[in-house]
Amino acid sequence: MSELFIATGGILRLLAHTLYWCKDAIWNIDKILYQITEIGNNTLPVAALIALSSGAVLTIQSGPALASFGIQESLGGIVGLSMVREIGPVMASILIAGRMGSAMTAELGSMSVYDEIDALKTMNINPVRFLVMPRFIAMIVSLPVLVLFMDVIGWFGGAIVANVNPEIGLSFQVYFRNLADLVSIKAVFNGLIKAFIFGVIISIVSCYIGLRTKGGPREIGRSVTKAVVLSFILVLVSDYFITRILQSINID
Partner 1 sequence: MDKNGNALLNYLKSDPIDLRVSDLNKSFPEKEVLTGINLHVSPSETHVILGKSGAGKSVLLKCICGLELYNSGTIYLNGEQIQSETDLSRYKIGFVFQSSALFNSMTVSDNVGIYLREHRLVKNEDQYKTLVKGALELVGLEGVEAQFPSELSGGMKRRVATARVLVMSPDLILFDEPTTGLDPMMTKTIGELIVTIKESIDTTQVVVTHDIEFAKYIADRISVISDGKIIDVGDPDNLETSENDVVKGFISKKFDEKEEKYEKRI
Taking the C-alpha atoms of residue 250 and residue 63, their distance in angstroms, rounded to an integer, is 29
C-beta of 10 vs 64, nearer to partner 1: 10
Site for partner 1 (CB under 8 A): which residue of 41, 122, 173, 250?
Answer: 122
The amino acid that residue 167 corresponds to is E
The yes or no reply on residue 2 touching partner 1 (CB under 8 A) is no
88-96 helix and 133-164 helix, angle to the nearest 10 degrees: 130
Q: By CB under 8 A, name the one of 73, 116, 219, 239 that touches partner 1.
A: 116
Of positions 50, 66, 104, 111, contacts partner 1 by CB under 8 A: 111
Q: Which residues of 46-61 are buried (b: 16+ CB within 10 A; e: fewer)?
A: ebbebbbebbbbbbee
In the list 6, 49, 114, 229, the residue contacting partner 1 (rule: CB under 8 A) is 114
Residue window 8-37: x/- pattern of binding to partner 1, with contact defined by CB under 8 A: -------------------x----------
Q: Are 157 and 51 in contact (CB under 8 A)?
A: yes
Are 57 and 158 a contacting pair, CB within 8 Å?
no
CA nearest neighbour of 211 among 101, 103, 113 = 113
Instruction: Reduce the DSSP state of residue 245 to 3 states and report it.
Output: helix
Site string for partner 1, 71-110 (x = CB under 8 A): ------------------------------------x--x
The three-point CA angle 187-188-194 to 5° equals: 95
Report 134-173 residues binding partner 1 (CB under 8 A): none
Among 124, 173, 248, 250, binds partner 1 (CB under 8 A): 124
115 binds partner 1 (CB under 8 A): yes
Write out the residues near partner 1 by the rule CB under 8 A: 27, 107, 110-111, 114-116, 118-119, 121-125, 130
